[in-house]
Structure 1
């Protein structure tokens, strides 16, 4: 269960950042990342939003920008009552005037709440810039965050022993048929312990290791929505 909770945290973290970088899920669906009483704080001093409605208002007024958010590190610690504390180091960059690159290393201290099914939602986020980002060459992180959220969701589903749900949530019809045929001939309990491995952002693909030393390439397509969609599966 602890493994699946880690994936649930990575899922919402990648989705939180991807929302600022490109077209993903609607604002209404994005607000499901937060508990009704969520609080967003800047540098421990400025309350930016309190409650889901206020979070929605804050997100609406964030000015559009060409920016990126790489999760350099993520650590979590379970706490009582189906909660956890999560700390992240984020490499943030923003493009100014089309050519100047600014940014910071941002420390996130957050708290999440888990549902009975193990899904995660932020109940508190505090973001604090701690130093200038030394990287002066802009690197886009949208593909990485979209791929990261999708990989985390697949890992979450497999860790909970629900391989069939991957097809229901993430696959186009042709890929879904391939997946159903695959899991029919696989030990789904063993699939539970498989892990998404190599990620190819340029080709939008994930490699899924199988228990018999084979691997699968999940070929993905970018479209608006909560996750990338699996359009085809290749057995390596």
Structure 2
């Protein structure tokens, strides 16, 4: 089976920095058409720069919590590339939670920011994938990959809101996988451990002791690079994983093999 995604068209959200940016860049390098989507227009322009003039790279800035923005993103992608074969829901936010504070609305915010945009965009994109596959009876019609977290399976009360959103994203992945299987659309997720994303970099600047603790709690003894997540996502979007759907693939350096530890997973 081939790991190639050349000639495919992908939407990658959360693509202005960190993991999403790494996924988008890898896909573009491998010959895919890529729509880099993010809320931060300036960051997109700064990261992509002159690459936006290249034939297989476009950018879209907007708040994907808004239904109209989602529709505009799909339309912009079709205007640029005529099709959508891959969706990577990489946009996510992390906020700390006080689980005993009745006025803390972090859980609601994390579901609103991390789950609902991914669900709505998946629904819109899958409709397009189904339409594109009309008349075809074989082959994969499309692939959707969600970026989740091992926090869905770990217990850190201060990350309760984020953990609940990750668990919801995992269940969303499984539900959509079953619903879309008859249309030959695969839906999987990558559950990440500690990855040197922008959010983790900022966290470690203020909590320097945590880096050593995270490394000690990870059997492979280090923090992942965003590119290592990107390569796992490429696998899930390629023909090499053609019989995989509804799976939560863990990329955490073995972190979840150990007992629960106080160092939070981002």
TM-score (norm 1): 0.32
Larger helix proportion of the pair: 2
TM-score (norm 2): 0.29
Larger strand proportion of the pair: 1
